[in-house]
Amino acid sequence: MVTTPEPGSSGATTVTVHEPEPQPQPITGAADAGVVDIAVVQFAPGTDTVANLTALRAEVRAAAELGARLVIAPEYSMYSVLRLDAGAVAAAEPLTGAFVNGLRGIAAEFGVYLVAGVLETPGGDQPEGLIYNTLVAATPDAEFAAIYRKVHLYDAFKSRESDVILPGPLDQTPTFTVDGIVFGMQTCFDLRFPEGIRRIAAAGAHALILPAQWIPGPGKVDQWTTLLRARAIENTIYVAAADQAAPRGSGASMIIAPTGAVLAELGDQPGIATARIDLEHLAEVRTTNPSLALRRFTIRGE
Catalytic hit among 59, 93, 188, 265: 188
Catalytic hit among 93, 150, 161, 265: 150
Longest Cα pair distance anywhere in the chain, in angstroms? 53
Other Cβ atoms less than 10 A from the Cβ of 302: the count is: 11
Sequential DSSP letters for 166-231: EPPPTT---EEEETTEEEEE--GGGGG-HHHHHHHHHTT-SEEEEEE-----TTHHHHHHHHHHHH
Q: Closest by alpha carbon to 273, among 251, 301, 295?
A: 251
The residue type found at 73 is: A
Which residues partner with 245 through β-bridges? none
How many whole angstroms from its chain centre is CA 71? 9
Q: Is 109 labeled as catalytic in the residue annotation? A: no
Q: Is 188 labeled as catalytic in the residue annotation? A: yes
Residue 108's alpha-carbon distances to 138, 203, 211, 246, in angstroms, are 8, 28, 21, 29
Catalytic hit among 75, 93, 109, 161: 75
28 burial (CB, 10 Å; 0-12 / 13-18 / 19+) is: exposed
- In whole angstroms, give the CA distance from residue 290 to residue 48: 47
Q: Is 150 labeled as catalytic in the residue annotation? A: yes
Q: Are strands 113-120 and 70-72 parallel, antiparallel or unpaired?
A: parallel
The residue type found at 144 is: F
Active site residues: 75, 150, 188
